[in-house]
């Protein structure tokens, strides 16, 4: 039953699709490939490119954007920006995502590509790379324009990419209100977000030609469903239909499904010198994929940094190793509650020792294993975990009897940024990746707070307590080494 939509209207204008977001499987569809007016669903692509541009250093969240006459003249819904006004990009992103402000969307496009027409061309290139084969964009906001068309299937694909490709920014779509700099704005989809359990986005759209559109996403337990509806007759009837389809999706979706993330498209932005470039997407497994760059003009410097020279650990770096081993030692202490858990802890500790030895061998100069270690002061002792568990390398676990070691900088002041280097199946695996990354990027991450955050998708490995510049630089360096890295910042 289609609520509030006649059969004649449904055949001409109505379209819907229900997707299992975890693997992209289609659970229900109706006219899903019919090209229709997307209205402000368009802004999902505008914001997707904005997130991409920020992550790759094209523009910063605190970059002051000068509002053009073209952007200021956009019809409502709008933030009310004036020509010549300067406003930070982060506020434009909030206004476009939450209020669906047309002037903010146009300003974002102009700030990134110089003009709305150039930005529309980038939108179409990105849409093609995402597999949105039946979508054509003419502007950044979605107001009706000849040839500006998309489908329920394509918009569902875009919504899935927004969720998986830029998880650090996705939370903005669930905010019912947001500070947009000049004023606080309210979400255009507050009714659905407040009424449907588990709903956390994504975007509404309305024009007289399009009707009431919505791409919605919700998570319950292990399942996440994305539902797209085009051509609703009203906000109420559209939300009722989306609710019905969401329930259908959760009913049909199996509980245990392996998450197969969509492949991130190539980066088609600009280098620091303004040269156009294409970079392949980063792999899901750190250290097992590479990033290739093809530039369309001759350049004098490679964007990939040279390998850092191998060297012996400095005293302060040894202290950092000691601090890093604390997490392993504490975990083993807790594991001694039962014999079964102790056995698991012993196996995990042995693996951690091997990782530390491997990393130490990579950082130290060749042949250092054959050199006798420098005698340590009597106040330092080797710490054995248990008599039956292999000891960690002496360089990593040597510490004073009651040391007071400061290894991380405060996250106060401007250090409110961080980076995410992936989501893993276990807390141990996430900590192992954090430790290895910290050792190989001591110059960048010395003083950063290592934190594992449990989510419905696994264990997120994060470094916190960085400045915005440091977070961006860290991700660029890690990306050059094939490590999946996303900045985490207050949007």
Q: State the catalytic residues.
A: 40, 43, 100
Instruction: Compute how many other C-beta atoms are within 10 angstroms of the C-beta atom of residue 287.
Output: 14
The β-bridge relationship of strands 199-207 and 211-220 is: antiparallel
Longest CA–CA span in the chain (Å) reads 88
CA distances from 360 to 183, 321, 353, 393 (A): 52, 10, 10, 9
Between CA 122 and CA 118 the distance in angstroms is 6
Residue 29 burial class via C-beta count within 10 angstroms: exposed 0-12, middle 13-18, buried 19 and up: middle
The helix (run of H) or strand (run of E) holding residue 421 is strand 417-424
DSSP states of 84-152: T-EEEHHHHHHIIIII--HHHHHHHHHHHHSSHHHHHHHHHHHHHHHT-TT-B-SSSS----TT-BB-H
Bridge partner list, 462: 420, 451
CA distances from 290 to 180, 286, 370, 478 (A): 38, 9, 33, 11
Between CA 418 and CA 116 the distance in angstroms is 31
Strand order in the sheet with 199-207: 26-30, 15-20, 223-232, 211-220, 199-207
Work out the angle between the directed axes of helices 152-165 and 43-55 (0-180°, nearest 10).
30
Phi, psi of 387 (to 5 degrees): -60, -20
């Amino acid at each position: 039953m289609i609520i509030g939509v006649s059969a004649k209207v449904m055949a001409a204008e109505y379209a819907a699709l229900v997707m299992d977001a975890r693997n992209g499987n289609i659970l229900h569809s109706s006219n899903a490939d019919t090209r229709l007016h997307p209205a402000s669903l368009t802004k999902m692509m505008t914001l997707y490119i904005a997130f991409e541009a920020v992550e790759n250093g094209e523009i910063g969240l605190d970059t002051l954007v000068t509002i053009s006459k073209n952007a200021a003249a956009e019809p409502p819904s709008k933030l009310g920006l004036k020509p010549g006004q300067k406003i930070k990009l982060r506020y434009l992103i909030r206004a476009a995502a939450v209020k669906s402000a047309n002037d903010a969307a146009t300003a974002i496009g102009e700030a990134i590509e110089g003009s709305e027409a150039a930005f529309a061309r980038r939108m179409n290139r990105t849409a093609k790379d995402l597999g949105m084969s039946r979508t054509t964009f003419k502007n950044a906001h979605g107001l009706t324009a000849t040839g500006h068309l998309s489908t329920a299937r394509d918009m569902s694909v875009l919504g899935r990419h927004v969720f998986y490709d830029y998880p650090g920014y996705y939370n903005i779509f669930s905010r019912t209100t947001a500070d947009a700099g000049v004023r606080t704005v309210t979400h255009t989809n507050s009714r659905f977000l407040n009424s449907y359990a588990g709903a956390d986005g994504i975007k509404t759209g309305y024009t007289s030609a399009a009707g009431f559109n919505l791409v919605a996403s919700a998570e319950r337990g292990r399942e996440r469903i994305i539902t797209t509806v085009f051509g609703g007759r009203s906000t109420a009837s559209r939300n009722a239909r989306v609710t019905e389809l969401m329930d259908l999706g959760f009913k049909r979706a199996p509980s245990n499904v392996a998450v197969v993330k969509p492949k991130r498209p190539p980066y088609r932005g600009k280098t620091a010198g303004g040269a156009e470039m294409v970079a392949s997407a980063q792999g899901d497994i750190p250290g097992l994929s590479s990033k290739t760059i093809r530039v369309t003009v001759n350049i004098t410097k490679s964007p990939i940094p040279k390998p850092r020279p191998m060297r012996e650990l400095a005293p302060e770096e040894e202290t950092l190793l000691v601090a890093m081993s604390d997490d392993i030692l504490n975990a083993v202490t807790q594991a001694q509650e039962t014999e079964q858990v102790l056995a698991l802890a012993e196996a995990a500790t042995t693996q951690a020792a091997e990782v530390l030895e491997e990393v130490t061998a990579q950082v130290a100069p060749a042949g250092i294993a054959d050199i006798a270690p420098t005698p340590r002061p009597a106040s330092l002792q080797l710490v054995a975990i248990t008599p039956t568990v292999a000891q960690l390398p002496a360089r990593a676990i040597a510490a004073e009897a009651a040391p007071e070691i400061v290894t991380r900088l405060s996250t106060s002041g401007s250090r409110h940024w961080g980076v995410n280097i992936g989501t893993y199946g276990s807390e141990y695996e996430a900590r192992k990746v954090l430790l290895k990354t910290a050792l190989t990027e001591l110059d960048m991450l010395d003083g950063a707070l290592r934190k594992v955050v449990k989510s419905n998708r696994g264990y997120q490995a994060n470094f916190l307590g960085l400045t915005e510049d440091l977070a961006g630089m860290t991700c660029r360096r890690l990306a050059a080494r094939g490590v999946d890295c996303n900045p985490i910042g207050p949007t």
